[in-house]
Amino acid sequence: MRKNIRNKEKIKVAIRLRPYIDQDITNNVDLEQQMQEDQRLLYIKDNRTVITNSKVKKAHKFDKVLSEEMSQQDLYEECRIDKYVDHVVDGYNATVFAYGQTGSGKTFTMEGYKYKMNETLNGFSQFESTPVAMTRQNENIGIIPRIVGELFHKIQGVELKKYRIYCSYLQIYQEKIYDLLNPLHSRKEYLQSSNNQQPEGLKLHFDARNDRFNVDNLYKFECKNAKELMNYFHYGLKNKVMSSHALNEASSRSHCILSITVESIERENPDNIIVSTMQLVDLAGSERSSQTLNANLSEQISLKLKKEAIEINKSLFTLRQVVSMLNKAEGGKGNYVPYRESKLTSLLKHSLGGNSFCLMIACISPSSKFFNENISTLMYASKASCISNKPIKNHDPKNKVISGLKKEVQSLRNQLMMAHNLMGKGKNLCSKCGKNLSDSDEDSAESLPNMVVEPQDHLKSSLVGPASIAQDEDNKSNSKLNLSRLNSEKQPQLPDFKKMFEKNETMMDKMTEDLMSLKEIMSAQNKLGLFERILLSAKMVKNVLKRNLELNKDYMDHTLEIDELQKNVAQFQLENEEIRDRLSIMEALTGTDSYYIQMNYSSVKDELIADLGKKEKMGMLDQDKMIALIYEFNKENSILKKRIERIEKKKIRNKFMQINDGMNSTDYSSNNVAQNKYFMGNGNTQRVDNELDDKSYARGYRCNTSPKFQERDCDTEPVRCVVDASEINQSMNMNQHYMNNGYQLEPVTTHKRFKNHLERRDKLLKDSSRGIDYQQYDTLNSSLLNYEDADSQIHFEKRLKKRTMTAIRHKKGASINVNQSIYNIGTDNFRPKIKRRKQQSFIAPLPPTKTSTSRMRSYSRKF
């Protein structure tokens, strides 16, 4: 017998390069150059390898690579698509889907039809298309018609089973699911409606038992033969949303999924039904509006195309995220897979990382104009090829119900047996109690009167016996004598016998009565016992069910919570990735990184500028888009700003090193003291711009002249210091002042803390194989951010070889009056070790320690 669960099965990936088409020529593709293979940016090396040849030559390996000469038949054979049909007939699910940018040949691969424009209708309806076979010989028919033919051919040959085939066909258009076989969802229906409104999409629900999403109220038709199924398919194709744009005359604007359900029923055991589904998916292609739109299109159509493109790109983005996360999961890294974030990924859940056999056909274009898009397709295709599925055979849910009922019947039988046994035991107990009950209650009740009747008969026989003796022929002669003797002997006893007999009779009646009532009581008790037991069992079952429901609810709640958390984690991961990408682009722009990133960046930039320019000319700058752009730019700017700030601070630090090295440095004196503000603390000074955020302030030692700080606790509060440069000297002198007052000064040891945080963060990243604790990571990261300047200060300190005393603390919470200015000195990151030698040092300062003396000296030398 075949196993129902197969080993892990990787998603198979085939790359298909389409040939040059007329469209490429109209798109001014440099054909001459590209016809020469060695000059192409992308070419096929062999039937498993694609070479990308930008700056660095790179080979990408796949299960199959199909060159532009390959026909539809070649594709079908090379990719062994007949095997997927076999799997479905065997009871496994299978999915074949085409992926790639717009115009790369997905629809051609899946359907192989040419679409004819319907010119008779105006407005949006002009996109309505009718598919027609490309050639008479049908050599160009795509995967779907071939699979349908093969499927019906295969099931014909099976004798032991009979099959029922159903089909349904849906499209996901602008993130709504429409039934292509439902006349109410037909394009005509809503395109011709007065307000041009789309009907409500169908709803999805998650079937937890089968771990897949199903569409509610989707039409499903039984098909007796291939022709019938193809008729339904063609009907659906007419309702598919198609548009014409610069890169494709007939471009799919929706993701279409044809589902063929196969029910296989064993002829000998019709209860044994296996249901499997084949999903054939033609995805809409990713596209850039700058490439697809042209001046010939009306404004209304351009807007519609744009809106469609946004939705298509959104859902494809989720698909790519799903692929990436599954790919990470294979490496033991990823955790949450965002299937639920789009309808497409929800419906493909069991195909990607689920229980289906899956074939992905990634279509690429030969034109180097689309090199970046091709690279992206290859990248996700290779990610997909690492994903494993676990195909399982699907038994019909009805079968499960039947087997469940059978089990229930069996368990009820067992209970009945147990009840019988219990009753038997009860009966034995009764007999032990001396009740003289026979095997069954009935018998026992009836046998009792018999037992009492016996002596009565005996009595009767004993009374009747002498008469029979008298009738004996042998003793005829003695009979009269005997009779008379007996009469004479027994005559006096007769009344006694009579009395006895009567007495016995009444006793018997009484006993019978007693027994009858006993029997009634017994049977009532038995019934009551049984009833009670049943009641008890029912109660138990009810309780178990109730508990089960509660647990189920808890489980669902937890699942939702976990889902939510995982979503957040994934969101953070994505954000993190995005930031990394941006940083690498920035790095590339500042000089060091790869050509590819630079190229991408500049192309994006060019595109944006061109787009804006065009719009400006046309006087149709879209406010929303502008806001979005501004937002994007703002985001980028803030990153850049931070980088610039860092660089500036570095420069300033160097400047102030010079100040620290000699307060009379020319740099310092040339500063506009009135304008510039300084952070000041214990020998480390740093200039900041007034606009710097709070974080930037929260570092180092700060002194404050503002009265509000007087109320603060210096131990815990970072103190913002904005002092005039002229006050720096006062601060320096202040150190001296404390030392003179007998305080031991300790070097700052914060760099150890910084190092420790850095090490912990690195360790966290290194140990990330089981997933990163992002909360901890964030905490560490944010404290490290605070340290960023601290870091530079640490180096600074190191260079000064601890000669600058940085930790001066007064008694906790107190403020000091130096030169008629109030100072509160506190730290946050640079929390110093405070050691006051003795309490009386306030009164009579002790001489400074050796260390502090030497430090003091160096300090005095310095300032």
Ligand X SMILES: Nc1ncnc2c1ncn2[C@@H]1O[C@H](COP(=O)(O)OP(=O)(O)OP(=O)(O)O)[C@@H](O)[C@H]1O
| Residue ranges that bind ligand X, judged by CB under 6 A | 18-19, 21, 100, 102-108, 248, 250-252, 284-285, 363
Q: Which residues are annotated as a binding site for ATP?
A: 100-107
The whole-angstrom separation of Cα 271 and Cα 518 is 51
Phi, psi of 178 (to 5 degrees): -120, 140
Q: How far is the CB of 77 from ligand X (least distance, A)?
A: 15
Structure tokens that stand for 360 in this block: 């992905």
Rounded to the nearest whole angstrom, what is the least distance from the CB of residue 111 to ligand X in the complex?
A: 8
Q: 166 - beta bridge partners?
A: 222, 261
> Which class for 193: exposed (0-12), middle (13-18), buried (19 or more C-beta within 10 A)?
exposed
Nearer to ligand X, 131 or 391 (CB): 131
Question: Are 850 and 740 contacting, i.e. CB atoms less than 8 angstroms apart?
Answer: no
Whether the Cβ atoms of residue 218 and residue 170 lie closer than 8 Å to each other: yes
Q: How far is the CB of 68 from ligand X (least distance, A)?
A: 7
d(CA 169, CA 280): 9
User: Which tokens sit at 764?
Assistant: 């966290």
Nearer to ligand X, 130 or 526 (CB): 130
CB nearer ligand X, residue 116 or residue 203: 116
Min separation Cβ 15 and ligand X, Å: 12
Q: How far apart (Å, rounded) are the C-alpha atoms in residues 716 and 712?
A: 8
What minimum distance in Å lies between the beta carbon of 75 and ligand X? 8
Question: Which H/E stretch holds residue 528?
Answer: helix 494-589
Question: Which tokens sit at 805?
Answer: 């005393």
CA distance 836 to 816: 16
Of the candidates 706, 680, 694, the residue with the CA atom closest to the CA atom of residue 793: 680
d(CA 493, CA 488): 10
Residue with tokens 């090193």: 657
Closest CA to 253 of 48, 107, 81, 39: 107
Site of tokens 């703002």: 634
Please state the closest distance from residue 384 (CB atom) to ligand X, in A: 17
Kindly state the smallest distance separating residue 142's Cβ from ligand X, in Å: 9
**φ, ψ (nearest 5 deg) of residue 161:** -130, 155
Q: How far apart are CA 142 and CA 73, in angstroms?
A: 8
- Tell how strand 255-266 and strand 161-173 pair up: antiparallel
Is residue 88 within 8 Å of residue 151, measured between CB atoms? yes
Nearer to ligand X, 96 or 363 (CB): 363
Structure tokens at 200: 């409500």
Q: At its nearest, how many Å lie between ligand X and the CB of residue 89?
A: 28
Nearer to ligand X, 137 or 491 (CB): 137
Q: How far is the CB of 253 from ligand X (least distance, A)?
A: 8
| Amino acid identity at 72 | Q
When the beta carbons of 104 and 389 are compared against ligand X, the nearer one is 104
Burial track 690-703 (b if 16+ CB lie within 10 A, e otherwise) = eeeeeebbbbbbbb
From CA 172, how far away is CA 71, in angstroms rounded?
Answer: 29
Q: Which residues have CB under 8 Å from 67's CB, separation 6+?
A: 17, 44
Phi, psi of 94 (to 5 degrees): -145, 150
Question: Would you list which residues are annotated within the binding site?
Answer: 100-107
Q: Specify the long-range contacts of residues 31-40, CB closer than 8 Å, at least 24 apart.
A: 33/368, 34/366, 34/367, 34/368, 40/366, 40/368
Instruction: List b or e across 784-816, with b for residues whose CB sees 16 or more CB atoms inside 10 angstroms.
Output: bebbbbbbbbbebbeebeebbbbbbbbeeeebb
Residue 342 CB, shortest distance to ligand X, in Å, is 17
Contact (Cβ atoms closer than 8 angstroms) between residue 59 and residue 45 = yes
Nearest distance, CB of residue 127 and ligand X, angstroms? 12
CB 276 within 8 A of CB 88: yes
Q: Decide: 641 and 696 in contact? Cβ < 8 Å.
A: no
Pick 238 or 519: Cβ nearer ligand X: 238
Shortest distance, position 43 Cβ to ligand X, whole Å: 16
Nearest approach, Cβ of residue 587 and ligand X (Å): 34
Amino acid identity of 305?
Answer: L
